[in-house]
């Protein structure tokens, strides 16, 4: 927008620069803390003399492989969740389907108390262990917050805005695309961010059903009583979760429609 031509009296118009400043101010602390935690862990491990078992886990190749598995699980889960949950949320807010929305909300509440590990084990008994079972479990576990937030996000859009849109002759599709969805973006993105964090967390349990991920390090550390492996696994998992959540926060700020406070 032509913010440069805006007269000085419109001081509340967000100039692009102030937007970036705000973004930096709000999001600068976390990368610093994470970098410090990772560096500290690295220096601590480097100061230890590792035995064979530890060296089998704590080498760049193995670490990168587990991180990669973890990220794959998380990324695929998030992708599937976004498609399924946003699509479902749109459907469940259309006239006619609206009556089913409380069911989704009720499921979301129960889902919150469901132990993820229980879900993974039950799915493994049914479908066998492995990557695809883990993926299904992760999607099932993370889909509900996004679905719930999509429904809430669309339903919280002022109904007068929808009526105004219809009143000036917008088609239902145009009202959805130009009014309902843009105004629901902050709430939907909050749900996606939650799903992302849930997926990273549940992916640590994927190792229990042979689907890899950083949980393997933690399990090794506990089972074989190797503190260094345990700490590296836990720190990496935590850092990964915080990094993704941080990224989610930055994206949410960037995609936030103007005009909302």
Partner 1 sequence: MTFPEYLQSRRDLLLAQTLEHATIVLTSIALATVIGVLLAVATYRSPRARGIVTAIAAAILTIPSFALLGLLITPLGLGYVPAMVALTLYALLPIIRNTVVGLTEIDPALTEAARGIGMGRLRSLATVEIPLAWPVILAGIRVSTQMTMGIAAIAAYVGGPGLGNQIFSGLANLGGVNSLNQALVGTVGVVVLAVVVDLALGLLGVLTRTGRPRRSAGYVRPRPLRRASTAATVATSSPTPGGP
Partner 2 sequence: MTENVMIDLQQVSKFYRGQKAPAVENVSMTIRRGEIVVLVGPSGCGKTTTMKMINRLIEPSSGLIRLDGSDVTSLDGNELRRRVGYVIQQVGLFPHMTVATNVGLVPRMLGWDRRRTEARVDELLDLVGLDPAQYRNRLPRQLSGGQQQRVGVARALAADPPVMLMDEPFGATDPLTRDRLQNEFLRLQEKLRKTIVFVTHDFDEAIKMGTRIAVLGERSKIRQFDTPERLLANPADSTVAQFIGAGASLKRLNLRRMNEIPWEDAATVQVGHSPASALRRLDETGESAVLTVDPDGRPLRWVTPRDLEPGQDSLDGVGTTATVVEPQATLHDALDAILASSCGATVVVDERGRYQGVVTIDDLMRAISEMRASERANDQPLAETPARRSAAGPTVARQARRS
Closest CA to 111 of 141, 152, 151, 150: 141
With respect to partner 1, which residue has the nearer C-beta, 182 or 238? 238
Residues 151, 1: Cα–Cα separation, whole Å: 31
Binder of partner 2 out of 1, 48, 64, 79 (CB under 8 A): 1
Residues 229, 258: Cα–Cα separation, whole Å: 46
Binder of partner 2 out of 105, 166, 234, 253 (CB under 8 A): 166
Judged by CB under 8 A, does residue 10 bind partner 2? yes
Q: Minimal distance in Å, beta carbon 245 to partner 1?
A: 5
Q: Minimal distance in Å, beta carbon 83 to partner 1?
A: 18
Residues 6+ apart with CB under 8 A from 87: none
Task: To the nearest 10°, report the CA torsion of 102, 143, 231, 36.
Answer: -90
| Inter-residue contact 90 to 176 (CB < 8 Å) | yes
Cα R_g (the chain), whole angstroms? 22
Range 228-257, binding partner 2 (CB under 8 A): 257
Binding partner of residue 3 among partner 2, partner 1, none, CB cut-off 5 to 8 Å per kind:
partner 2
With respect to partner 2, which residue has the nearer C-beta, 1 or 97? 1
CA 192 from chain center: how many Å? 5
Q: Minimal distance in Å, beta carbon 59 to partner 1?
A: 20
> How many other CB atoms sit within 10 Å of the CB of residue 88?
19
| Inter-residue contact 140 to 81 (CB < 8 Å) | no
With respect to partner 1, which residue has the nearer C-beta, 6 or 29? 29
Per-residue contact string for residues 153-182; x = within reach of partner 1 by CB under 8 A: x-xx--------------------------
Residues 33, 41: Cα–Cα separation, whole Å: 12
3-state class percentages of the chain: helix first, strand second, coil last, to nearest 5: 80, 0, 20
Judged by CB under 8 A, does residue 242 bind partner 1? yes
Per-residue contact string for residues 30-49; x = within reach of partner 2 by CB under 8 A: --------------------
Binding residues vs partner 1 (CB under 8 A): 29-30, 108-110, 112-119, 121-122, 124-125, 129, 144-145, 148-149, 152-153, 155-156, 187, 190-191, 193-194, 197-198, 200-205, 208-209, 214-215, 218, 221-222, 227, 230-231, 233-235, 237-238, 241-242, 245, 249
């Amino acid at each position: 927008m032509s913010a440069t031509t805006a007269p000085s009296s419109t001081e509340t118009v967000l100039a692009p620069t102030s937007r970036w400043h705000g973004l930096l101010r709000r999001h600068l602390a976390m990368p610093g803390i994470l970098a410090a935690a990772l560096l500290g862990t690295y220096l601590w491990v480097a100061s230890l003399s590792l035995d064979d078992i530890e060296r089998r886990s704590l080498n760049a190749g193995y670490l990168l492989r587990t991180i990669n598995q973890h990220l794959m699980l998380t990324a695929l889960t998030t992708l599937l969740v976004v498609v399924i949950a946003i699509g479902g949320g749109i459907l469940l807010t259309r006239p006619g389907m609206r009556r089913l929305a409380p069911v989704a909300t009720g499921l979301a509440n129960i889902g919150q108390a469901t132990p993820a590990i229980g879900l993974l084990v039950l799915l493994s008994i049914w479908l066998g262990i492995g990557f695809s079972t883990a993926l299904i479990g992760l999607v099932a576990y993370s889909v509900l917050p996004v679905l719930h937030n999509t429904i809430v996000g669309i339903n919280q859009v002022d109904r007068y805005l929808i009526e105004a849109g219809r009143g000036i002759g917008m088609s239902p599709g145009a009202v959805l695309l130009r009014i309902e969805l843009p105004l629901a973006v902050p709430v939907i993105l909050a749900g996606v961010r939650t799903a992302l964090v849930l997926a990273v967390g549940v992916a640590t349990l994927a190792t229990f059903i042979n689907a890899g991920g950083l949980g393997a390090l933690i399990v090794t550390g506990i089972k074989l009583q190797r503190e260094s492996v345990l700490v590296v696994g836990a720190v990496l998992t935590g850092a990964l979760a915080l990094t993704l959540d941080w990224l989610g926060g930055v994206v949410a700020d960037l995609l936030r429609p103007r005009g909302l406070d």
